Amino acid sequence: MKATSDWKRMKMEGERITMVTAYDYPSAKQSEAAGLDTLLVGDSLGMTVLGYDSTVQVTMDDMIHHAKAVRRGAPDTYVVVDMPFGSYHGNDDDSVGNVLKLYQQTGANAVKLEGVECVDVIRRSVAAGVPIVAHLGLTPQSVGVTGFRMQAGTQEAAMQLIEDTKAVEAAGACMVVLEAIPSDLAGKITRTLSIPTIGIGAGADVDGQVLVYHDLLQYGTDRLPKFVKPYADFNTAGVEGLRAYAEAVKAARFPDEDTTYKRKVFEE
Ligand code: KIV
Ligand code: NA
């Protein structure tokens, strides 16, 4: 299993970091079998597995519930877990308390927070011993304000984002996720920081990539964002399998001889 200290080393050695989201036992198990460097229990689970239209409704209890299942499915993979909306923007004592709770109760290896506003929470959490991943650029918990669109598209906003990434690095974050920003800006940030950048919709000039499991395998999703390339089609495979099953039952082809217990318990 990777350790937090491996991330800087991999960046220095130019080895790209692979990350995918996982939300439950089977997705974690598959991702570990596929050899991913790290898994993210993203609060995107609100949309991918709970059917909400944003991540805003996701609670601490939801994150703990799903992260524990991921931990069981991938005992030997570095797991990062998202702090949900509303759990780290009150006073800093409560916020740090929630970070410690999520880390301790899930057995995750690191905790991820969105935005630069929580830079003090990052500093205090790291001081308390919790590895922290920062998330800047498009921060989905703020979609009510920003919308789902590319961020930092002007030079002024880009300069601000560079400063923000420096601030989370200085606060002790061990990596930073950059979402939906221009590729040249992501490259500049990547060359400026000593911690790795993990991109999603940030182009190729970063230290690693993360995608949402349900997007990259096309599982329950019908519209993919511009920055997703699908690598499998679980939608088609799943619907075909379910239809074949239903047809077999209707036609009395299932269960068959092989799938039936044949011991006689009554005399004829
Ligand atoms: O929740 C999530 O899936 C994420 C990734 C998009 C980085 O935060
Ligand atoms: Na997230």
Confidence (pLDDT) at 177: 98
Q: From ligand 2's centre to the CA of 11, what distance in Å?
A: 22
Complex ipTM over 0.95 = yes
Nearest ligand, CA of residue 44? 1
Question: CA-based angle 34:39:40, to the nearest 5?
Answer: 150
Confidence (pLDDT) at 224: 93
Give the binding-site residues of ligand 1, using a 6 Å CB cut-off: 21, 40, 42-44, 82, 135, 177, 179, 200, 210, 212
Evaluate if residue 268 carries a pLDDT over 80: no
Contact yes or no for 132/101 (Cβ under 8 A): no
Say if residue 112 carries a ligand binding annotation. yes
Say if residue 44 carries a ligand binding annotation. yes
State pTM to two decimals.
0.97
Say if residue 183 carries a ligand binding annotation. no
The verdict on residue 25 lying in a domain is yes
Average pLDDT over residues 102-123: 98
The verdict on residue 55 lying in a domain is yes
Average pLDDT over residues 107-116: 98
The verdict on residue 95 lying in a domain is yes
Instruction: State the closest ligand 1 atom to the C-alpha of 48, by its place in the atom list counted from 1.
Output: 3
- The CATH number of residue 103's host domain is 3.20.20.60
Number of compact structural domains in the chain: 1
Q: Which two tokens stand for residue 145?
A: 């304000």
Average pLDDT over residues 219-241: 96
Structure confidence by residue, pLDDT tens digits, 13-44: 999 999 999 999 999 999 999 999 999 999 99
Structure confidence by residue, pLDDT tens digits, 37-90: 999 999 999 999 999 999 999 999 999 999 999 999 999 999 999 999 999 999
Contact yes or no for 240/234 (Cβ under 8 A): no
Q: What's the CA dihedral at 117, 122, 19, 39 to 10 degrees?
A: -120
The verdict on residue 261 lying in a domain is no
Domain that holds residue 93: 4-233
Average pLDDT over residues 202-219: 98
The verdict on residue 103 lying in a domain is yes
The verdict on residue 248 lying in a domain is no
Q: Catalytic residue numbers?
A: 179
The verdict on residue 188 lying in a domain is yes
Look up residue 113 and give its DSSP letter. Answer: E
> Which of 28, 111, 122 has its CA nearest to residue 75?
28
